[in-house]
Each structure stands twice: as C-alpha cells, then as structure tokens.
Amino acid sequence: MLLIWGKYVRKYYPRFIIFFLIGLAALVTVDIFQLRIPEIIGGLVDKLDKEGTIDVQSQEFIQTILSTIVIAVVLFVGRIVWRLSLFYASKRIEENLRKEMFEKAEKLDVSYYHNNKVGNIMSWATDDLETLQEFLGWGSLMVIDGVFLTVLALVKMFILSRNLAFIAIFPILLIALAGALCETHMSNRWRLRQESNDRLYDFSQESFTGIRVIKAFVKERQQIHKFNKLALANSEANVKFTYISVLFDVLIGIIVALVSAIILGFGGWFVYATVTHNPIVMFGYKIELDPGQLVTFQGYFYTLVWPMIALGQVITMFSKARTSYRRVANFLDIPINIKDNENAKDVEIKGNIKLDHFSFRYEGASKDSLKDISLEIKEGELIGIVGAVGSGKSTLVNTLTRLYNVNRNQVYIDDNDIMDIKLSSLREGFAYSPQDNFLFSGSIKENIIFDNNNLDEVKLREAILYSDLKKDLDEFENKEETVIAENGATISGGQKQRISLARAFYKDSQILILDDVVSAVDLKTEQNILKNLREQRAGKTTIIVASRVSTVMGADKVIVLNKGSLEAFDTPSNLLKQEGTFSRMVLLQQLSTKKGE
C-alpha cells in the first residue's frame, strides 16, 4: 500500500511503534470483550420462561450482570487507550512531516519560488497533511479493528451456524469488490478537488498580500467575482467527490440491510423448525438453532456491520490519503540545488571578492543576465553598483550570497571558490539588506535583531543610530517596541528601508550588501546614512546597489553595468571624466534636481 509504506511515512514508524502496538493491543482486547455481549444477550433469551420473564434473584443472573459491568469497564478503558495511542502517533507523524516540509521549503532555491506559488505549498502543508493524519489515525483504527473484529466474529458465527455464516460472508465480498472498483475513481476525484483547492489558496494568498493595490484601484468587486468562480469550481469538485463517496456508503447500507433481513428470515425458519422438532437438513447437514443462538448470531452479524461500514470509509480515506501523500512526496522529492559540495569547507570571511570572467543565466532563460565580468573588490573597500533597470545589479549581489548556483572557477571569496565554501559559513560572512525590504509582523526591535537570542543592546543602539532610524523611533510611543504589521504595512517606505538597513548593521558582518536601500529616503537622510556607513564600516567591505548616482559618489570604486556586461569599474572621479552610463546618469540627475528647483 503506497501510503502505509511511503518512504516519508514509514521512517517514523520505528519512533512511534510502541504507541501503535499499545493501540493494537487495546483494540484487540476491546474486540474480544465486545463479542461477549451477543453471547450474554443470547444466554438471557434462553433463560426466559414461557411468560417471557427471568429470575433476577438467581445467582446466574447476578453473575451475568457482573460480567456485563466488567465488559463495559474494559470497553471504556480500552477505547480511551487506543484513541490516545493511535491518535497521538498519527498527530506526531503529521507534525514531523509538516516540520520536514517547512525545512525543505527553506532549503529550496529562489528560482523554485519564481516558478511555483506559495499557496500550493500552504495547501500541501495543511489540507494534505491533515488528510494523511486522518488516515494514519482513524484509517489505522478502522483497518486493525475491522480485520480482527471480522475474523473473530466470523469464527464464532461459523461455530454457531455454518449456513447462516456463509450468508453473512456474502456482503463482505460484495463490499470489497465495490470498493476496489470505486477506489481509483475516488482517488482521481480527490486529486481534482485538491488541485481546485490549490487554486483557491493561491488566489486568496495573492489577494490578501496585494490588498492595498486592490483597494487603491477599487477592484474589490472584480476580485470577488474571480474568487466566486474559483469557489464555485472548488465546490463542484467537492460535490463530485462526495457524490461517489456517499453513493458507496449507501450501497453498503443497502447490502447490510438486505443480508440482515435474509439472516432473520432463514434464522427464524431454522428456529421454528428446531422448536417444532422438525429440523431442516441442507447439503446433508442437520440444522438446529434455538432462539438464543439466533439472537447471538444476529448480534455477531451486527458486530460485523461496523467493519463493513468502516471498510467503505477506509476506502474513501485511502483514496484521499494516497493522492495527498503523492502531492506531499512530490514536494519533498524536489532536489536541493543550493547545497554544500562534498569538499565544502568552513571559511572565515574577510571581505575580498574576485570575479573571473563571470557569467550567469537564470534557469530556463535564453540568454545570460551577466556576461563575462572580471573585477576584484579588496577587503575594506566601499563599492557602488549602478546601471539601468534590468542591467543585472541585483542579480550580481544575489549570486555573491549563493542564492543561485554559479559556475566554478568564476567567483572567489578570499581566494576560495565560492562553490567550495559551506553555505552557513559563506552567508554568516554577509549581511544583506535586499531591495524588497521585507519586514515581519512584530516589533521593530524584533525585526532588527531578527530573533537573535543573544541580544546586544549596544549593537542595537548603534544599528538604530547608523541607519538614521532614531528620529523616527522617538516619534513612536513605544520606541523600538512598536509593533508593525506584516511587511511593514503600517509604516512608510523610508522607515521600512531604514529598519532593514538597521538589521544589516546589527549583524555586523565582514561584507555588507545594500540593494537600493535608500531610494525611499530624502537626500539629507541618505547623506547621514552614507556618512555613518563610511565611519562604522571602516575596514570592512561594503557593496551598495543604487538607483541614484549621488548614493555612490563617496564610494572607493563604482561598478557600472550595461545590459549585463561590465561597462566600467573605476573611481567616481575617473568615471566622471569618461563618456558612458555613469556620466549620463550624473547629468540626468543634475537636470532633474535643477528642474525640481
């Protein structure tokens, strides 16, 4: 069975085997004692006198009552034990799988998220794992309970009446056949339902993330209409799956009812023949059945009703769980592209960066985003990067932290090939403030220290000061303890940039990368930040990606990119003397400033 033996599930069995064994033992015990109930009822029927009464004062009747109480206690305790054991194990497996999925999502490279939607992963980690947990818990219970209860009940039924027992086997065979025919169809219906659910997740996640844009363009009604279409498609997929599931349950109910009527009919005939001393002979076998035995047999059969119903539910659960497992397994099977090589080593980053005929192409792209770039950044230098939109500025700094894999022998950090440095060691040597300046919901302080357990108050104050954030915090009632919404929705763009910058300052790594982090601040604030950078980062390598040339005028050198190629790499003063992208950008900025005056 795919689900039971799927590699991502079975590896947890040894860890939780004790709980499954305890649950199994409790279930078997409950089944054994449960089958005593029909025997007790049948025995009481046989003890009825002609008036239909029984001597409640008799020692035998009192013993029967005590036995019933014992059985009730065993059933009560046993059911508590198997619930706690099986459901605990299934919940822990779900918990571990969800953790494994989260860790996998963190390790996947950035390009995966360019091609896949986050809503899909959310659906796999919620709906699909809950479906798996349902089968591992309730499904395991139904399979184990159904098998043992069916076998025990059938053995007792054959001992009691072979002919009636053959009649009772008939519905089990029919249900098994119907289940086999329906399972594949139900599995396909569940897959379509989950895919529809994915689309609903994706649309909802994108809409809530971009809610401000939707409101600004007054597109609420349009989004509602789109959501309604997806919700309707999701509803139809659910109805189609439920239709098959309910149809199967109804079929089981009809079969059980028909066989129950047949057993009562034949059983009543056998009892009547026995009571009138005219026993029936079938296939050379003399049938004798008294009223108590018929009641006991009927009790055994009704005991079989639960396993038969459970069989239908298990088939439904398995159809759902098999599809869900495949979706989860497909995600966990995705290869990790950004990982340490076998010979990767820990390196203490100092800050020297060298590119040797470096070229880079995104996965699936038809041309290089960066072409044949050769340059060297020395430890302690302040380097600017400028260029037109799409020239490859962000791509260049992203490859330095190995957000993407690069070709060997093209990028070196302190004379070490970047592909031979352990990721943890490499990234620990970098502090990075990305272009999108993502902030998490929580306090400003939590965003700056980024949940660092070893809070350094001195570094925190310096980071706030150097990022020119202090004047903003002074205006907030709770200072750095001010709670902000997800992605800084409750603060300005400039404040978001400076909090992100403060986070990078707080890390205080040997190499600092700032990707267009002052574009949303005024010129005075920009000058303060750049002045603090030169002072605080003295002796450490700093790389600033800028959209304004004023940002990099104080840099030691400036990298000028043009359509992915290195146009120039020189000091700002030398670049001003040359015709090219840098001088044009300076001229355009000067004209823009004069026009603004």
Strand partners, 513: 432, 543
Q: What's the average model confidence in pLDDT over 145-156?
A: 82
d(C-alpha 135, C-alpha 143), whole Å: 10
The conformational region for residue 52 under phi > 0 = left, psi -120 to 50 = alpha, else beta, is left
- 8 Å CB contact between 496 and 519: no
Q: How does pLDDT run across 401-428, given as a tens digit for each residue? A: 888 888 999 999 998 999 999 988 888 8
- 8 Å CB contact between 154 and 31: no
Q: How does pLDDT run across 502-557, given as a tens digit for each residue? A: 888 888 889 999 887 777 667 777 788 888 888 888 888 999 988 778 788 888 89
Task: Place 73 in a pLDDT band, splitting at 50, 70 and 90.
Answer: very high
Residue type (1 letter), 158: F
Strand pairing report for 285-287 and 483-484: unpaired
- 8 Å CB contact between 358 and 412: no
Q: How many CB atoms lie within 10 A of CB 69?
A: 10
Q: How does pLDDT run across 315-357, given as a tens digit for each residue? A: 778 878 888 888 899 999 988 888 888 888 988 889 899 999 9
- 8 Å CB contact between 368 and 339: no
Q: How does pLDDT run across 463-477, given as a tens digit for each residue? A: 888 888 888 788 888
Q: What secondary structure letter does DSSP report for 421?
A: B
pLDDT at 57 exceeding the cut of 70: no
Please give the domain boundaries of the chain with CATH numbers for all domains: 2-332 (1.20.1560.10), 436-508 (3.40.50.300)
Q: Can you list the positions of beta strands (E) in 142-282?
A: 280-282
Backbone angles phi, psi at 590, to 5 degrees: -65, -40
Write down the pTM of the prediction. 0.72
DSSP 227-267: HHHHHHHHHHHHHHHHHHHHHHHHHHHHHHHHHHHHHHHHH
- 8 Å CB contact between 269 and 282: no
3-class SS of residue 538: coil
